[in-house]
């Protein structure tokens, strides 16, 4: 429900437009929120750290490039137009030989590095673009 103090903006959220606004990698930006879940856009390249999210599943949707999600017992490759849901508690490590542009869907407040100690890999949370 909207009211007059908070007018609805009828404007599409365009992935290409959002992607053009930043160049840094491994720094997810929030582009929309649905209930408690945030839809984030991110650019990645190279190898991330092994980690898991004890409290939540994590959805990866590839927009551009080729993403490999490594697991301790296998891996899955995602091309543009493909997605995968990593179940909560499952260790995973994203890898991209060349830059991948993708969407992440996860609850508000989830850190990109999951259960790891805070480090330079830990992205600042809740950054909207
Ligand atoms: Ni993760």
Span of 63-67, 92-96, 103-107, 108-112 with lowest mean pLDDT: 108-112
CA of 76 to the centre of ligand 1 (A): 14
pLDDT at 116: 77
**Angstrom distances, CA of residue 100 to CA of 34, 69, 106:** 24, 12, 18
pLDDT confidence of residue 86: 98
Measured in Å, residue 13 CA sits from the centre of ligand 1 at 24
Q: Which residue has the higher pLDDT, 16 or 5?
A: 16
Cα 10 to averaged position of ligand 1 atoms, centre (Å):
32
21 CA distance to ligand 1 centroid (A)? 23
pLDDT tens by residue, 27-40: 999 999 999 999 99
Q: What's the CA gap between 126 and 71, in Å, rounded?
A: 27
Reported pTM: 0.89
Average pLDDT value for residue range 56-84? 98
What's the 20 CA to ligand 1 centre distance in angstroms?
Answer: 24
């Amino acid at each position: 429900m909207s009211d007059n103090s908070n007018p609805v903006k009828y404007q599409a959220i365009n992935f290409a437009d959002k992607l053009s606004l930043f160049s840094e990698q491994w720094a997810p930006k929030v582009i929309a929120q649905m209930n408690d879940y945030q839809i984030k856009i991110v650019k990645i390249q190279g190898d991330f750290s092994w980690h898991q999210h004890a409290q939540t599943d994590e959805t990866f949707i590839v927009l551009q490039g080729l993403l490999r999600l490594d697991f301790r017992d296998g891996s899955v490759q995602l091309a543009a137009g493909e997605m995968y849901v990593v179940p909560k508690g499952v260790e995973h490590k994203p890898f991209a030989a060349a830059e991948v542009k993708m969407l992440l869907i996860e609850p508000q407040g989830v850190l990109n590095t999951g259960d790891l100690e805070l480090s330079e890999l830990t992205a600042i949370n809740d950054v909207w673009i």
